[in-house]
Structure 1
Amino acid sequence: MLFNRNFADLITFARASAGWSYSAGGVLVQSGANTPRLDYDPLTLAARGLLLEELRTNLLWPSMYGLVTAPTYYTITNAASLVAGQQAKRFVMVGAGGPNTPAANGAQFTATGPMCTWSIIEIDPASVAGAITRLLFYKTSGTPGIWGGVNLDLTTGVASVASGTGTVTYGAVKLSNLGPNGGAVYLLWTATTNAGGETLNAYPYPITDGSASGAGKSVIVHHHQLEAGAYPSSAIVTTSAQATRAADNATITDLSKIGFSQGEGTVYAEFMVPRIASGVAGDSFGGVITICDSALNNYFAVWPNVTGNVKFSRKAGGAVVDITTANSVVVGAVAKVAVAYGAAQNDAICLNGGTVASAAAIAPSGMTEMRLGRLASNPGWLNGWLRNVRFIPRRMSNVELQSLTA
Structure 2
Amino acid sequence: MYAFFRISCSISLCLAVLACDRKVPSHTAAFQVDLPSQQVGATSTQILTRVMVNVTGEGIQHPIVGIFEHHCHECPGSTGLTGPFELFVPKGNGRLVQVLAIYENTTLETMSFNYGDQLVDLSGDKEIEVEVLALSSSSREGQISGRYLTTATSGPTGKAAAYYKPPGKPKMIVDFSEIINGWFDFHILDDVPLTYVMEPSGQILFADVSLSSMPALVSDRVMQVAVPDQTYNVHATHNGSNFIVDESRDYHGPDEVFLGWFGPGATASHYACYTGFDWASILYRVIDHDNSGGNTAGDALERICQDSSCTNTMYFFGSTVDNTQLSRIAGGKDKSGFCSNPADKFLTKLHFEETYFDQERNSHSGFMGPFRIIPPLTSEDHPGYLSGTYSVTGKQMTLNWDLLPGVVDGANGIHGVAVFYRSGMASWSDLEMYRMNEGYDCHRAAAEMSHAGTTGTNSLVINNLHHSQVNSTGVMVCPYRDDGGGRHYFSSAATRHFGDYPVGIQPLVALETNIKTDVTAPIDLNWAITGGTPPLNYAMVSGGGTVNGVTGVYTPTGAPGIARITDADGATVDLNITPVAASTYFDFFSSFPPGFGLTRGGPAYHYDSDGILVTASANVPRWDYDPGDCLNPTQPRFCAPRGLLIEGVTTNEFAYSTAFDNAAWLNFAYDPDITPNATVAPDGTTTAYLIEDTNKNASNNDKLFYNNFTGHAAGTTLVFSVYVKANTSTIMGITMQEAGVSNSDLFVDLANVTTNNTSKPHGVEKLPNGWFRVWITHTKTTTNTMTAWIMPATSATSFSPTALGSIYVWGAQMEINKRKYPTSYVATSGSAMGRVADNLTTPGPAFFSNPFTSTILLEYYNPGDHTTKMGTILNIDQSSGGGADYLRVKGGVSGGANMLVNQSSSSIVDQTLAPTSKGMGAERLAISFQPNQFQAAINGYDKYTGTAYTPLTGIAYFSLGEGPSLTDQMDGNIRKLIYWPDVLSMTALQSLSY
Q: Do they superpose with TM above 0.5?
A: yes
Look up the match of 1:33: 618
Could you tell me whether the CA contact under 8 Å between 1:10 and 1:252 is conserved in 2?
yes
Q: Structure 1 residues 159, 211: closer, same or farther in 2, change over 3 A?
A: closer
* CA–CA separation in structure 1 for the residues paired with 2:912 and 2:674: 55
Moved more, 12-21 or 38-47: 12-21
Q: Note the C-alpha offset of 1:194.
A: 1.6
State the SS of the aligned residue for 2:958.
strand
* CA–CA separation in structure 1 for the residues paired with 2:974 and 2:827: 24
Q: Structure 1 residues 97, 250: closer, same or farther in 2, change over 3 A?
A: same
Q: Structure 1 residues 379, 275: closer, same or farther in 2, change over 3 A?
A: farther
* CA–CA separation in structure 2 for the residues paired with 1:361 and 1:157: 47
Q: Note the C-alpha offset of 1:391.
A: 2.5
State the SS of the aligned residue for 2:830.
coil
Look up the match of 1:119: 722
Matching of residues 212-251 of structure 1 within 5 Å: 217-229=805-817, 230-251=820-841
Look up the match of 1:193: 779
Could you tell me whether the CA contact under 8 Å between 2:659 and 2:829 is conserved in 1?
no
Look up the match of 2:950: 362
Q: Note the C-alpha offset of 1:389.
A: 0.9
Q: Note the C-alpha offset of 1:363.
A: 2.5
Look up the match of 2:5: none
Q: Note the C-alpha offset of 1:135.
A: 1.6
* CA–CA separation in structure 1 for the residues paired with 2:780 and 2:926: 39
Q: Structure 1 residues 7, 93: closer, same or farther in 2, change over 3 A?
A: same
Larger Rg: 2
State the SS of the aligned residue for 1:401.
helix
State the SS of the aligned residue for 1:10.
coil
Look up the match of 1:108: 709
Look up the match of 1:270: 859
Could you tell me whether the CA contact under 8 Å between 1:287 and 1:381 is conserved in 2?
yes
Q: Structure 1 residues 65, 316: closer, same or farther in 2, change over 3 A?
A: same
Give the counterpart of 1:173 among 764, 767, 770: 764
Give the counterpart of 1:83 among 674, 683, 689: 683
Instruction: Read off the aligned partner of 1:49 and give its amino acid letter.
Output: G
* CA–CA separation in structure 2 for the residues paired with 1:372 and 1:33: 19
Q: Structure 1 residues 378, 18: closer, same or farther in 2, change over 3 A?
A: closer
The answer to whether 1:160 aligns with 2:756 is: yes
Instruction: Read off the aligned partner of 2:816 and give its amino acid letter.
Output: A
Matching of residues 302-313 of structure 1 within 5 Å: 302-313=889-900
* CA–CA separation in structure 2 for the residues paired with 1:172 and 1:402: 29
Look up the match of 1:11: 596
Q: Structure 1 residues 333, 174: closer, same or farther in 2, change over 3 A?
A: closer
Look up the match of 1:319: 906
State the SS of the aligned residue for 2:682.
coil
Q: Note the C-alpha offset of 1:218.
A: 0.9
Matching of residues 276-355 of structure 1 within 5 Å: 276-278=866-868, 286-292=871-877, 293-297=879-883, 298-322=885-909, 324=911, 328-330=915-917, 332-342=920-930, 344-354=931-941, 355=943
Could you tell me whether the CA contact under 8 Å between 2:689 and 2:810 is conserved in 1?
yes
State the SS of the aligned residue for 2:908.
strand
Matching of residues 20-59 of structure 1 within 5 Å: 20-44=605-629, 45-59=639-653
* CA–CA separation in structure 2 for the residues paired with 1:275 and 1:118: 14
State the SS of the aligned residue for 2:872.
coil
1:176-217 deviation digits (Å, cap 9, x = unpaired): 3x51xxxx32222222122343111112233459999666x2
Q: Which runs of 5+ in 2 are unaligned?
A: 1-582, 630-638
* CA–CA separation in structure 1 for the residues paired with 2:662 and 2:586: 52
State the SS of the aligned residue for 2:606.
strand
Q: Note the C-alpha offset of 1:259.
A: 4.8
Q: Which runs of 5+ in 1 are unaligned?
A: 162-166, 279-283
Instruction: Read off the aligned partner of 2:719 and give its amino acid letter.
Output: C
Could you tell me whether the CA contact under 8 Å between 1:119 and 1:225 is conserved in 2?
yes
Q: Structure 1 residues 28, 296: closer, same or farther in 2, change over 3 A?
A: same
Could you tell me whether the CA contact under 8 Å between 2:703 and 2:791 is conserved in 1?
yes
Q: Note the C-alpha offset of 1:397.
A: 4.1
State the SS of the aligned residue for 1:235.
coil
Q: Note the C-alpha offset of 1:396.
A: 3.4
State the SS of the aligned residue for 1:14.
strand
Look up the match of 1:92: 692
Instruction: Read off the aligned partner of 2:732 and give its amino acid letter.
Output: T
Percent identity between matched residues is 20
* CA–CA separation in structure 2 for the residues paired with 1:156 and 1:395: 47
Could you tell me whether the CA contact under 8 Å between 1:356 and 1:402 is conserved in 2?
no
Q: Structure 1 residues 325, 109: closer, same or farther in 2, change over 3 A?
A: closer
* CA–CA separation in structure 1 for the residues paired with 2:765 and 2:925: 28
* CA–CA separation in structure 2 for the residues paired with 1:50 and 1:122: 27
* CA–CA separation in structure 1 for the residues paired with 2:653 and 2:627: 24
State the SS of the aligned residue for 1:83.
coil
1:279-328 deviation digits (Å, cap 9, x = unpaired): xxxxx553221111223222112234224453432222221221637662
Moved more, 319-328 or 261-270: 319-328
Give the counterpart of 1:252 among 833, 838, 842: 842
Moved more, 107-116 or 317-326: 317-326
Over aligned residue pairs, what C-alpha RMSD do you find? 3.4
1:374-405 deviation digits (Å, cap 9, x = unpaired): 34599543222211012322333445434433
Q: Note the C-alpha offset of 1:220.
A: 0.4
Q: Note the C-alpha offset of 1:253.
A: 4.8
State the SS of the aligned residue for 1:289.
strand
* CA–CA separation in structure 1 for the residues paired with 2:680 and 2:826: 18
* CA–CA separation in structure 1 for the residues paired with 2:940 and 2:735: 43
Give the counterpart of 2:745 among 140, 149, 152: 149
Q: Note the C-alpha offset of 1:86.
A: 6.0
Q: Structure 1 residues 139, 55: closer, same or farther in 2, change over 3 A?
A: same
Give the counterpart of 2:969 among 347, 360, 381: 381
Q: Note the C-alpha offset of 1:96.
A: 4.0
Could you tell me whether the CA contact under 8 Å between 1:315 and 1:362 is conserved in 2?
no
Q: TM-score, normalised by structure 1?
A: 0.80
Q: Note the C-alpha offset of 1:365.
A: 2.0
Aligned length: 380
Could you tell me whether the CA contact under 8 Å between 1:311 and 1:323 is conserved in 2?
yes
1:39-80 deviation digits (Å, cap 9, x = unpaired): 111111211112222322111132123425897740413111
Look up the match of 1:281: none
Give the counterpart of 1:64 among 658, 663, 672: 658
Q: Note the C-alpha offset of 1:268.
A: 1.8
Could you tell me whether the CA contact under 8 Å between 1:97 and 1:211 is conserved in 2?
no
Q: Structure 1 residues 174, 311: closer, same or farther in 2, change over 3 A?
A: closer
1:57-116 deviation digits (Å, cap 9, x = unpaired): 111132123425897740413111112446111123455448734454x86233021112
State the SS of the aligned residue for 2:627.
coil
Could you tell me whether the CA contact under 8 Å between 1:57 and 1:227 is conserved in 2?
yes
Could you tell me whether the CA contact under 8 Å between 2:892 and 2:914 is conserved in 1?
no
* Higher relative contact order, structure no. (Cα contacts within 8 Å, ≥ 6 residues apart): 1
State the SS of the aligned residue for 1:46.
strand
Could you tell me whether the CA contact under 8 Å between 1:123 and 1:220 is conserved in 2?
yes
Q: Structure 1 residues 304, 328: closer, same or farther in 2, change over 3 A?
A: farther
